[in-house]
Every structure is written in C-alpha cells, then in structure tokens.
Chain A
Amino acid sequence: MKRQQFQHPYLPYLLVAPQLAIILVFFVWPAAQAVYQSFRLEDPLMGIGEFVWFDNYASVFDDRQYAVSFVFTIIFSTLVAFFSMAIALLLAVKADGILHGESAYKVLLTWVYAVAPAVAGIIGTFLFTRNIGPLYNLLVSTGWTFNPQVNVFDASFTVILVSVWKQVSVNFIYFLAGLQGIPVAVREAAKIDCKSELRRFWTITLPLLAPTGFFVLVINVTYAFFDTFGVIDTMTRGAPAGGTSTLVYKVYQDGFLGLDLGGSSAQSVILMILVLVLTAVQFRFLERKIQY
C-alpha cells in the first residue's frame, strides 16, 4: 500500500461498490450455493430436497466415470502443457536470436492467441473429418486405422493437438519476453565462456528462464483445465464413453445436461479445492521467485 493515502468518509466505498456488488451477486453467492447444493439431494422436477451430508461426494468418488475423467484430465493437461510449452520455447529461442524478420515472425506466431478455443475446435473437427479432412487422410495414409468416434486414444489425440495449437502463441509471447529480459551483459559473458549453443541454453538460459517457465506452466494447467471446454465441446463432447471428458466438462454434462445438481455441485467443490491447492503451490513458488 501507498504511504501517502487519501482519507474520505464515503468516496472509497462508492468507488469499490460496483465491483463489490457484482462479485457478491455473481461470485460469492453462486460459490456458496455450490457448496450448499453439494450437501443436498434435490429433485428438480418435484422441487423438494434434503440434506444428505457427504453422500454426493461419496457417489462422485464411487463413480467409475469420474475416475476416468480425472485420469484423462491429468494426462491431457500434462501433454498439452508439455507440448505447447516445448514448441513455444523452441520458437521463442529461435525468434530471439534471429537477425532478419523478427517482427514478422512475432506477428505470425502470436495471432492464434485471439482464436477462440471453440472456433479452433470447429476447424480441427473439419481437418479430422473422414474422407474430406487432410489430417484424416494423412493419418490414414500412414496405415493408422483412425477412428476418433470409437477409439479413445484417437479422440484424445485430436483434442490434444488442437489444444496445443491454440496455446503455442501465448507461451511464445511469455517465453520471448522472458528471454529478452535476460541482461545483455549476461548473454555476452555466456557467449565468451561457453561456445556450444546447446550447452549455453541448458546451463545459462534455461535456469534464468525458470521463473517465466513456472508462470507459464501455471497458465497452461489453468488453460488445460478450464479453457479447453470449447475444444472438447465442439470436437468430441467427451466421447467416446466419457474418455475425453475433462473434470470441467463433466461438471457441465452432469449438472446441466444430466440435471444431477448435487453430484455436479460436489464435483464443483472438488474442483475448487484443486484450484485452491494449485494456487497455494503457485504462491509458494512466487515467494521464491522474489528471492531471485
């Protein structure tokens, strides 16, 4: 906080009032409702309900589909984060060192940031459509009996590829900024001391890029958990057999399409706890970052 501050009887309240009102109505209240609903069994048709303690949680953990969704979410997030970060890092390192055309590359590698995941999913669906899609034809020509409608592996492949495609640009922007933030003196010294470009990357650049890398990792996990909803809804709808349903997609399917309010709320609360744990981890690391 500032050392110098204003004092005024009502102005500050007036200034925070719009923000506070919206947050109370559209954030605090719904979040509290989710917790409340997760302990109740509601019959949406009859309009009656009862308090059932942890029954909803118990049935969520008993649900084999939930386990499937949980495992898929972990694998999906790991692969999406890994590949989109790896590709972006390679491109950022090359774009940082390039002598000609840096600004053109920057524009051509960042615009995908603005494409909606749902739109990416729709274009992806076309590329993978039987007979007309170039990617479908390419995969089949390698002898792969590619059938995402039936095969979970094939379906996962399509949503992962599209999700990676969509995320490379954001990661590229952060990595490039991180690389360009490394002081010139350090780079020059490294160049003199270490001739091998590859070794210089592993021993100097990468450790200096670690704070950026960690921040990007957090963004990517959040993206894979929540923002890929549009990709999954337009491409697979969680099919086949819930094999490509992320935890967020399952909350939507069970609650909004399946009308299982208690179960869906219990899943929401579990997700909230997961996010809180992730945030706590993030803060611990951020504290370390400051000591750098």
Chain B
Amino acid sequence: MKKKNQILDHLILMAGVLFLLLPVWIAFVSSTHRPEVILGQGLQFWFGDYFWETYSAVLFDGTGFTGKVNALLMLGNSMILGLGFSIGKILISTIAAYAIVYFRFPAGGMIFWIIFSSLLLPLEVRIIPSYEVVAQMGLLNSYTGLILPLIASATATFFFRQFYKSVPEELLESARIDGAGPYRFFVDILMPLSTTMIAAIFIIMFVVGWNQYLWPILMTTDESYYTIVMGIKNILNDLEGNNVPEYNKALALAVLALLPPVLVVVVLQRWFVKGLVETEK
C-alpha cells in the first residue's frame, strides 16, 4: 500500500521536474544544431554537432548595431551589475540596520520610516522620474547609473534589521562589560554572527541584480553597457534578420544568460533556500 503511493508521488514529482526542465533542455540542445535544421525541422530534443561553433561565435564574434557586442562583453556587464548590486546593497544595509537597531538617536524614528517607505513602491511604478533624475546627473550609460538606483530599496536593510533584532540582548551587555565600543561590537561580534545571513542575502541579491531587465533597458543606449539579459532582445532582431534566422545563436544567448545565476543557486542551494525562508520572517 505504502509503496504504491510513493510510486505515484514520484511520478508527480518527475512530471514537475520535466515541466520545469524541458523548455531549457530544448533551448540548450537546439542551440547545438545548424540554423537550417531548426528552420526546417523545428526545435530539437537531442544534441547536434555544432556546440562549439555556435557558442564560440556567440561568445567572441561581434554583432549588434556597432558590430562590437558579443556575449562575453554582455556577461561581463551582467557580472558587474550582479556583484555591484549585491555587494553595494550588503555594505550599505548592514551598517544602516546596525544604526537603526543598536543606536538611540534623535530623528532615528523618522529616518527609519523614510528608509522603509522604499519597500512599498517598486522601481517599476516610478521608472520615468527615476530615469530623469539619473539623466540629469549625467549617469546614463554608466555602471553607477545602472546600479545605484536599484539599490534604493530597503529590502536587505529590512532583513538585517530582523536578524539583528533576533541576536540575544546579553551579547551586547557582556560586550559592554568587557569594554567593547560600537565599532568593536560590530566587527568582532555582530559580523561573525551574520556570515550565514550575509552569504544567503548575497546569493539572492546577485540573482536579482543579474536578472534586472527594465532598468538596464532604460539606462543603456550604448551597446558596450548591455547586460546579457536585456541585450538578447536587441540582438534577436539582428539574428533573425538574416536569410536563415540564426535561432541557434539566439537560444545559445538565452542559455548563457540563465546559466550563471542558475549555477549559483544550484551550487549554493542550502544557503540560498535558508536565505529565502529566513527573510520571510
């Protein structure tokens, strides 16, 4: 009885796995075929013989309007955005949350509300004025303009605040008795306690940063700042304008765009899931 039930459970789970895996599988194996094959016979379900040809062309050969963009450049920009976003956010939010939780200071309450009001409204509802601000500051087509406005949301600050609040009160008391000031307490006690939390938030924020789409579209008109997630869309038109539309290359770009964040999440699975679940509280 029990055994039979489990077989059905496995079937359901495998169906779920297939549902999630199949689209990306088809994209990947199709990208290893010649474009003529895809055009003539449709997308493929098994590998072709042109893996290196497709991927080396996509990675190293220039395309786009200027003929200078390739996947390597766009992957580099995505890496800068992902790392800049996650590291920037962690640096700024660990110290801001520290001030909010561990200090009593005039206007602290008001500052708390200003910072957390940013949780209410995502960037998407204020894109045009945000774009104007960045344009006025002369930050269009720059990494600063790409990253800073995205950091203007207090998600990470909120997570760290929750975490610090859960740190036992006695730690600060005993640290004070031992003569530790605010700096020593932060560096020697709070930071070592937060390493797991920081790792988890880093993973989540890296993925969020890498996957940004709308903001990079608005910010970048110069192809040398294209990130891979938004660059594919523009390059698609070029690829499909050819005599034989180069579907293989377009699919290869999509695979390259999803590979780094997926690898991060798969390899660091435990921290990532912990991060997501812990931050819920």
Interface residues of A (CB under 8 A from B): 1-8, 11-13, 15-16, 18-20, 22-31, 33-34, 37, 87, 90-91, 94-95, 97-101, 105-120, 122-124, 126-127, 131-134, 137, 165, 168-170, 173-174, 177, 197, 215, 222, 226, 229-230, 233-234, 248, 251-252, 255-256, 261, 264-265, 268, 271-272, 275-276, 279
Instruction: Kindly identify which residue among B6, B176, B218, B276 contacts A4, using a CB–CB cutoff of 8 Å.
Output: B176
> By the criterion CB–CB under 8 Å, are B99 and A116 in contact?
no
Verify A29–B133 contact, CB threshold 8 A: yes
Q: Decide yes or no: A109 and B114 within 8 Å by CB, A25-B133, A94-B9, A114-B207 being known contacts.
A: no
Q: State whether A34 and B129 are in contact (beta carbons under 8 Å apart), knowing that A8-B182, A226-B124, A233-B213 are contacts in the complex.
A: yes
> Nearest chain-B residue to A133 (Cβ)?
B43
- Cβ–Cβ contact A98 & B6, under 8 A: yes
Interface: B49 (CB within 8 A): no
For B16, give its contact among A91, A122, A233 (CB under 8 Å): A91
Q: How large is the interface on B (under 10, 10 to 19, 20 to 34, 35 or more residues)?
A: 35 or more
Evaluate contact between A23 and B118: CB separation under 8 angstroms: yes
Most interface-central of A1, A29, A97, A165 (chain B CB within 10 A): A1
Report if A275-B121 is in contact (Cβ < 8 Å); known contacts: A25-B152, A123-B254. Answer: yes
Q: Is the beta-carbon distance between A16 and B100 smaller than 8 angstroms?
A: yes
The answer to whether B23 and A123 touch across the interface, beta carbons within 8 angstroms, is: yes
Chief secondary structure at chain B's binding surface: helix
Nearest B-chain residue to A26, judged by Cβ: B152
Complex interface: chain B residues within 8 A of A272 (CB): 120-121, 125-126
Q: Which single member of B6, B157, B257 contacts A116 (CB below 8 Å)?
A: B257
Measured between beta carbons, the chain B residues less than 8 angstroms from A5 are: 102-104
Instruction: Establish whether residues B247 and A11, one from each chain, have CB atoms under 8 Å apart when the complex forms.
Output: no
CB pair A2 B165 closer than 8 Å: yes
Q: Kindly report which residue of chain B lies nearest to residue A24, judged by CB atoms.
A: B114
- Looking across the interface, which residue of chain B has its beta carbon closest to that of A231? B213
Residue among B17, B130, B254, B262 making CB contact with A105, cutoff 8 Å = B17
Q: Are A226 and B122 in contact (CB under 8 A)?
A: yes
Residue B187 is within 8 A (CB to CB) of chain A in the complex: no
Taking a contact as CB atoms under 8 Å apart, the answer to whether A124 and B6 are in contact is no
**With the chains together, A109 CA to B250 CA distance in Å?**
25
Q: Point out the residue from A3, A100, A115 that lies within 8 Å of B261, measured CB to CB.
A: A115
Q: 6 interchain pairs (CB within 8 A)?
A: A8-B105, A13-B105, A19-B96, A123-B26, A229-B214, A272-B120
CB pair A2–B257 under 8 Å, yes or no, is: no
Binds A, one of B55-63, B64-72, B265-273: B265-273
